[in-house]
Amino acid sequence: MIRLVDLIKKGGIILNLKSKEKVEVIKEMAKVLIDKGLIDPPEEFFKEILKRENLESTGIGMGIAIPHARTKAVKDLVLVIGRSEEGVDFSSLDSKPSYLIFLVSAPEDKKDEYIYTLAKISKLLRKDDVRIKLNKAKDEEEALAIIRDYEVP
Amino acid sequence: MNINKILLYLENAHPEVTDFAFVLAERLPAKIFALYVIDEMVIKRRVKSEGKDKEKVKEELEDLFWQRLYEIEDLAFARDVKISLLLLEGKVMRVLREVMENYEIGLLVVSRYAQLNIERFLEQNKEKGVIIL
C-alpha cells in the first residue's frame, strides 16, 4: 500500500514557493528532485510534464493543482508539495489560483501506482480540513503530520 | 453547431464510449470534460443495502472514480487529446445540466447503461447534442 508520506523526500515540502508563474513553480519544485539526482535528465522530465500542462488543467479547483508526469527521467514514484502564498494560475476549472501544488512523477512502468497516487491525492485534498490545515502549516514536519493523520490506508 | 467541448459522462461507460469520445475530440477537434458524479441516491441505496456508514460509501466511490478518471486521463494524454477531470456530488441530472451550462459544452456522450432518465434530460436540454452509445 502506497503512503503519500513515504513518497516525499527530505526537503520535498516547500511552504514558501518563490515563483509566481506555473512553469517556474514546477521548475522550483522539481529542483528538489534534480538536486538529489532523482530526475535525470531534467529536460526529458520538463518536456513530459509541460506537455501534459498544455493538454489539460492540472488545477483541479479548490486552490489545488497536481502537475504530474510518467517519464523515463525518474526511477521512483516521487511527490513534492509546494505552497504559494499568492496563488498560481494553473488554469483551474474554477478559474481560481492554486495555493497547494502537489507535483507527482513516476517511472513509465509504474502506471498503476502512479494512478493510485494521483487518485489518493485528489481524494485527500477534497477534504476541507486537510486544505485548511496545510495552508496554515508552519513547517515541513507539521505538513507531513497532517497528511499522515488524514491518509486512509 | 460548433462543438469544441465534449462532456463524457462515465457512469457505466464501457471502453468503446470513451474511445468514441476521443475519436470525436481528435477529429473536431474538441476538449473532453470527463465526469463522474457521486450520486446522492446511489449513496442512500448503498447505505441501506450494505449497512455501511454514509462517509465510508462516499470514500469508496471517490477512490474508484478518481482512479478511473486518471486512467482515462492517461489514455487521453497518449492520444494528445485535451482533457479535464471532474468529480462532483449531487443529483446526476442537475450536475449534468450545470456542467453543460457552466463550461459551455456542446455535446454530451453517455453510455446507454448509465442510470439516468435520458429522455427527460433531452426534453430539458433540447439545444444540446447528446450521443448515447
| pLDDT, position B118 | 76
B66–chain A Cβ distance below 8 A for any pair = yes
What are the phi and psi torsion angles at B23 (to 5°)? -60, -45
List of residues 6+ apart from A139 with CB closer than 8 A: A15
B46–chain A Cβ distance below 8 A for any pair = no
| pLDDT, position B77 | 93
Nearest to B83 among A55, A119, A152 (CB): A55
Please tell me the distance from the alpha carbon of residue B75 to that of residue B80, in angstroms, as a whole number: 9
Please tell me the distance from the alpha carbon of residue B61 to that of residue B54, in angstroms, as a whole number: 11
pLDDT tops 90 at residue B40: no
| pLDDT, position A18 | 96
What are the phi and psi torsion angles at B123 (to 5°)? -60, -40
pLDDT tops 70 at residue A152: no
Nearest to B74 among A57, A60, A111 (CB): A111
pLDDT digits (tens, 9 = 90+) for A16-62: 999 999 999 999 999 999 999 999 999 999 999 999 998 888 999 99
* Three-state SS at A108: coil
Residue pair B8/B18 in contact (Cβ under 8 Å)? The answer is: yes
| CB pair distance less than 8 Å for B63 and A119 | yes
| CB pair distance less than 8 Å for B74 and A70 | yes
pLDDT tops 80 at residue A147: yes
Show the cell assigned to A123.
Answer: 481524494
| pLDDT, position B72 | 96
In angstroms, what separates the C-alpha of B19 from chain A's closest C-alpha?
17
* Three-state SS at A106: strand
The predicted complex's ipTM stands at 0.91
CA dist A85 → A37, A88, A129 (Å): 28, 9, 18
pLDDT tops 80 at residue A153: no
What are the phi and psi torsion angles at B86 (to 5°)? -135, 130
| pLDDT, position B13 | 86
A116–chain B Cβ distance below 8 A for any pair = yes
Nearest to A56 among B62, B67, B84 (CB): B84
What is the average pLDDT across B91-119?
A: 88
| pLDDT, position A1 | 83
pLDDT tops 60 at residue A7: yes
Q: How confident is the model at residue B2 (pLDDT cuts 50, 70, 90)?
A: low
Q: How confident is the model at residue B112 (pLDDT cuts 50, 70, 90)?
A: confident
| pLDDT, position B23 | 96
pLDDT tops 80 at residue B126: no
| pLDDT, position A135 | 96
Please tell me the distance from the alpha carbon of residue A37 to that of residue B57, in angstroms, as a whole number: 41
Top residue of A122, A128, A129 to mutate, by most chain B CBs within 10 Å, is A122
Q: How confident is the model at residue A73 (pLDDT cuts 50, 70, 90)?
A: very high
State chain B's mean pLDDT as an integer. 90
Percent of residues in chain B assigned helix, strand, coil, to nearest 5: 50, 25, 25
Q: How confident is the model at residue A132 (pLDDT cuts 50, 70, 90)?
A: very high
| CB pair distance less than 8 Å for A55 and B80 | yes
pLDDT tops 70 at residue B1: no
* Three-state SS at B40: helix
| CB pair distance less than 8 Å for B84 and A93 | yes
Nearest to A13 by CA among A139, A114, A123, A150: A139
A127–chain B Cβ distance below 8 A for any pair = no
pLDDT digits (tens, 9 = 90+) for B7-33: 999 998 889 999 999 999 999 999 999
